[in-house]
A and B are shown apart, each in its own frame.
Chain A
């Protein structure tokens, strides 16, 4: 499959690359050290209209092309994984609406997400339901024209800062997957019965807001149910097909950023009278880092193009892209720390942060183990 960026995509990529280098890169170390959510980066995205990237133009977005969005995510992730995630999750939080929302819902809710006036989030995981989302216990009980949601969600990116949150809950607790329905809650920061507790002390992506959400009889109008009752699991799986390449792009950017930094260092650092770049041990490591990153990029681009083509094969290749890119990010960042030696282990240099940031890409949006289950099942059957 031959995936090439068109002129518009190249222009967007270059613009985002400049913004990332000039405005985001200088903030990355502090974002990690303080662990504070970077509202200035949100403002930067609003100013440059970057939140428009995931959304279709009829709702205030750009083209809604997955390839365009993912190229932008990669550019940002090269310098700051946390900042890249803010953009990726703004897409994730809108996908259920884009996939299964009514025209009325989309017209009502998407424009504010595309402008960035409101941040969004996606609440699927629970303390007892991670890799097995159909095992969720959060309930949505119907009362006339409303649903009442009770339960908890955990590890929700932007859960403590978002206004608009896609929430999955069981309208039929006697069923597993078929009992799940999707909802969108609005004005979360002021919603009665809703609390978000930020989780502090993460291993990586420390500036990203990650929260535990509690729903204590939160009222949601029926007009905010996405799709029919029982459609939720199917919608969630379709969301994953789109969001996995997004996270894969974040992982890809982390890998490329680490590779670029390590290559620069290897050319400068001298030992035994020459640059360490001249030693086979370093050369072979760099070659493997480059080959794996290039391969991961090819799969991410392919999966992104399949989304834009509305191909039925998206799920399979999205899982491959996510698996490869995440595992590559972990390996490449670990090797980048190695190339910097002792300096790679201290926080004055960025690669140890990149290594800590890489880890989560193997875990969220479906663990690398789950990606393997999905890929194997496609070939071998369940």
Chain B
């Protein structure tokens, strides 16, 4: 997969690359679009350790490709694996696992970021279906995805949120123009608008009011994936810095060994925290605390390492498309999405205080 991604990575980083769908198609051709899906549904039957190794490898080359694939494999597919019934799984998992379909996850709204459960998108029951109305913000792959896992409100209150499988081609589903972001230029991030979208009751994931559980479970696992993306970004930045450092050393010039050592240490630690969290998921254990710790540490690390890499590769790294500059811009998103690092601290502190 490293070979499949590497040639398209530079194009993706400049926002001029293939559609996210085409990336997932090529992943599918390599048998990598359904790593966590069982062979029964066309997947590779892999572990979370396999998954993070893949995401880190992709992210090392290109963070945009990594987030598209991470969202597809993790928050876009896992809720279906964990909470879907046999009918839902057989209808959708094979298409996602083959890479024929691209998956996305729609929770965040303009007024509901960290306070995700303040969401206002409504799902009104109408006979055998629900009618969805509302809009979601900052949705990765919005506009290109074939399947969205959408959280919408069937009743008021935190227990009034339900999860739905919404097909991108259905009437009433539309996306805004992709946002102009600081980084991750190869990933589409846009508003997802739902106007009178009829969703069959058979596409509700779990019971009414189960959406909260789906979202929290998705985030726990999703955080492990983002940790891997962050480790890959850090490693890619470190690669660039080490290359320059070796050239300087060979030319008899000074090298900032202090910073280099710190970059290596933090990246290695981030990787181990990520592996640990993935192992817990594979063992079927509760991962909320460890996933949160990994996400916080790995994403703070990738920002620090990418920023340091720009220093060590200066002045060439002042060019916007230099590998260190690209990672400098890409890394920051990791501290924000999938639960800001301030929320991660709330989660961790809660565990520490409650015992």
Contact = CB atoms under 8 A, between A and B. Distances in A.
A227 to B, nearest CB: 27
A334 B332 contact: yes
Given A203-B325, A362-B311, A367-B311, A345 B332 contact: yes
Contacts of B170: none
Interface in A317-343: 330, 334, 337-338, 341-342
Given A356-B182, A363-B311, A338 B113 contact: no
Given A337-B332, A342-B108, A342-B137, A271 B315 contact: no
B138 interface: yes
Interface string A254-283: 000000000000000011100010010110
A202 B332 contact: no
Contacts of A282: 342
Contact of A363 (B303, B318, B329): B318
A352 B118 CA distance: 27
Contacts of A364: 315
Contacts of B315: 125, 130, 154-155, 363-364
Interface in B325-353: 325, 328-329, 332-333, 335-337, 340-343, 345-346
B179 A346 contact: yes
A154 B256 CA distance: 23
A196 B28 CA distance: 49
Contacts of B261: none
B311 A347 contact: no
B182 A355 contact: yes
A344 interface: yes
A359 B310 contact: yes
Interface string B16-34: 0000000000000000000
B16 to A, nearest CB: 14
A330 B307 contact: yes
Nearest to B322: A203
Interface in B244-276: 253-254, 256, 259
Size category, A interface: 35 or more
Contacts of A272: 114-115, 118
A281 B342 CA distance: 6
Contact of A341 (B113, B183, B310): B113
A175 interface: no
Contact of A344 (B259, B322, B336): B336
B138 A342 contact: yes
A203 B182 CA distance: 10
A359 B309 CA distance: 11
B319 interface: yes
B180 interface: yes
B50 interface: no
Contacts of B345: 281
Nearest to A352: B182
B280 interface: no
Nearest to B319: A201
B126 interface: no
A139 B182 CA distance: 41
Contacts, number: 104
B32 to A, nearest CB: 28
A360 interface: yes
A206 to B, nearest CB: 8
A258 to B, nearest CB: 13
Contact of B115 (A155, A271, A345, A362): A271
Contacts of B321: 201
A368 interface: yes
A360 B112 CA distance: 35
A132 interface: yes
Nearest to B312: A369
Contacts of B341: 338
Contacts of B137: 342
Contacts of A362: 311
A363 B345 CA distance: 32
B114 A341 contact: yes
B118 A345 contact: no
A345 B114 contact: no
B320 interface: yes
A356 B330 CA distance: 12
Contacts of B112: 271
Contacts of B118: 271-272
Given A342-B138, A346-B182, A155 B113 contact: no
Contacts of A281: 342-343, 345-346
B340 A347 contact: no
Nearest to A281: B342
Contacts of B180: 346-348
Contacts of B335: 338
Contacts of A131: 254
A60 to B, nearest CB: 34
A334 B311 contact: no
B314 A363 contact: yes
Contacts of A154: 315
Contacts of A201: 319-321
Given A281-B345, A342-B337, 8 more contacts: A203-B325, A203-B329, A272-B114, A338-B341, A345-B333, A347-B182, A356-B182, A369-B311
13 contacts: A131-B254, A132-B253, A203-B318, A203-B319, A204-B318, A271-B115, A330-B307, A334-B303, A338-B335, A338-B340, A347-B180, A363-B315, A367-B314
Interface of B: 108, 111-115, 118, 137-138, 179-183, 253-254, 256, 259, 303, 307, 310-311, 314-315, 317-322, 325, 328-329, 332-333, 335-337, 340-343, 345-346
